[in-house]
């Protein structure tokens, strides 16, 4: 489900320093859900929109919404395969984040 991709990514100092190449891990079958690149310290990952991934599972694989969410949580988002494992983002505003994390 996850494959390695050699990608050119901008260095921390994009202007003047050019690019560096590193392996990124890609979630197969979800190219249409890519938002871009994310970085935590010096580790880059491909970033996917979680809602779009779940939508693909519903449309392409004919899963119900509950089936798609469960499959996503255990088989996609829950699959750590080492450095460069894709990042999945749930898009929401700060108010909603505070509400959901304060319970």
Q: What is the pLDDT along the chain (103 residues), one digit of tens a residue?
A: 666 655 455 544 444 333 444 588 999 999 999 999 999 888 899 999 999 999 999 999 999 999 999 999 999 999 999 888 999 999 999 998 898 888 6
How many distinct structural domains can be found in the chain? 1
* Residue 34 within a domain: yes
* Residue 67 within a domain: no
Q: Write down the pLDDT at residue 83.
A: 87
User: Could you give phi then psi for residue 95, rounded to 5 degrees?
Assistant: -60, -45
C-beta pairs of 3-9 under 8 Å, 24+ apart in sequence: 3/28, 4/84, 5/46, 7/37, 7/44, 7/46, 9/37, 9/44
Q: Write down the pLDDT at residue 4.
A: 62
Residue 44: name the closest of 25, 57, 61 by CA. Answer: 25
* Residue 83 within a domain: yes
Q: Write down the pLDDT at residue 20.
A: 40
* Residue 31 within a domain: yes
* Residue 71 within a domain: no
* Residue 25 within a domain: yes
User: 27 lies in which domain range?
Assistant: 2-49+78-101
pTM of structure: 0.77
Q: Write down the pLDDT at residue 46.
A: 95
* Residue 55 within a domain: no
* Residue 28 within a domain: yes
């Amino acid at each position: 489900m996850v494959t390695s991709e050699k990608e050119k990514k901008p260095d921390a100092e994009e202007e003047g320093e050019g690019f560096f190449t590193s392996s990124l891990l890609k979630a197969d079958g979800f190219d249409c859900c890519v938002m871009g690149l994310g970085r935590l310290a010096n580790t880059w990952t491909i970033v996917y929109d979680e809602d779009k991934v779940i939508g693909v599972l519903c449309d392409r694989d004919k899963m119900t919404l509950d089936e798609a969410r469960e499959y996503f949580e255990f088989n996609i988002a829950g699959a750590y395969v080492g450095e460069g494992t894709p990042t999945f983002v749930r898009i929401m505003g700060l108010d909603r984040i505070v509400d959901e994390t304060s319970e």
